[in-house]
A and B are shown apart, each in its own frame.
Chain A
Amino acid sequence: ELKVEQNPLFLSMQEGKNYTIYCNYSTTSDRLYWYRQDPGKSLESLFVLLSNGAVKQEGRLMASLDTKARLSTLHITAAVHDLSATYFCAVDRSNYQLIWGAGTKLIIKP
């Protein structure tokens, strides 16, 4: 069965701390996507990782992909309250479909 598993599913952390969200997947895909969703809002594309060893950074967020381990990480550096959101990873099932993780709800306390 094709699966994408995120952990943790819920994370509460203090501002200024570092943390990592993990995304494991069971397919042989080498294309992985990270999205952000604010409460009551739609999804916004954050990162597209297209090959083994790919690393992308935007501000305090950095995403990486290890296709051999079928693992992607989203690292948060010196967290700030504005990063509070739900983060989803997704993997290509085919050229048209994605398999989605369940999402990680991140709460950053001042």
Chain B
Amino acid sequence: DGGITQSPKYLFRKEGQNVTLSCEQNLNHDAMYWYRQDPGQGLRLIYYSQIVNDFQKGDIAEGYSVSREKKESFPLTVTSAQKNPTAFYLCASRNSGGGQPQHFGDGTRLSIL
């Protein structure tokens, strides 16, 4: 079955540590996204990528970094510069062109130790 796989499901970060969240899709979608969701809140866009080797900042990119070396993979690094990283992180992908819904992975829940 095609889909989006995020790992790990739960992640704990120590002070001063960088952590990387994995996102892999086998839907052959061009575009991929990272969102942050805080408890009881909506989605905020961190980064997105329209094509391999290219990505753009979203609304809350500070303290995060991404790469897009392969079409199917879009890992997110939460750096030590992100002072409040505790949140639910969602990866999504979408076919190119308009009128296509975004498809979501199951999410990674990140907490500070």
Residues of A at the B interface (CB closer than 8 Å) are 31, 33, 35, 41-45, 48, 50, 88, 92, 95-98, 100-103, 105
Q: A88-B43, A101-B42 are in contact. Are A42 and B90 (CB under 8 A)?
A: yes
Which residues of A have CB within 8 Å of B104? 42-44
Query: Is the pair A96, B94 in contact by a Cβ cutoff of 8 Å?
Result: yes
Query: Which chain A residue lies CB-closest to B94?
Result: A96
Query: Is the pair B45, A42 in contact by a Cβ cutoff of 8 Å?
Result: no
Binds A, one of B64-72, B79-87, B95-103: B95-103
Query: Is the pair B94, A100 in contact by a Cβ cutoff of 8 Å?
Result: no
User: B48 at the A/B interface (Cβ < 8 Å)?
Assistant: yes
Q: Give the shortest distance, in Å, between A32 (CB) and chain B (any CB).
A: 10
Q: How large is the interface on B (under 10, 10 to 19, 20 to 34, 35 or more residues)?
A: 20 to 34
Query: Is the pair A48, B42 in contact by a Cβ cutoff of 8 Å?
Result: no
Query: Which chain B residue lies CB-closest to A50?
Result: B99
Which residues of A have CB within 8 Å of B45? 97
Query: Is the pair B48, A41 in contact by a Cβ cutoff of 8 Å?
Result: no
Rounded to whole angstroms, the CA-CA distance of A39 and B90 in the bound complex is: 14
Rounded to whole angstroms, the CA-CA distance of A50 and B107 in the bound complex is: 27
Query: Is the pair A102, B99 in contact by a Cβ cutoff of 8 Å?
Result: no
Which residues of A have CB within 8 Å of B107? 41-42
Partner of B101 from the list A48, A96, A100 (CB cut-off 8 Å) is A48
Query: Is the pair A42, B42 in contact by a Cβ cutoff of 8 Å?
Result: no
Rounded to whole angstroms, the CA-CA distance of A48 and B94 in the bound complex is: 13
7 chain-A/chain-B pairs, Cβ below 8 angstroms: A31-B98, A43-B43, A44-B104, A50-B99, A96-B96, A97-B45, A97-B58
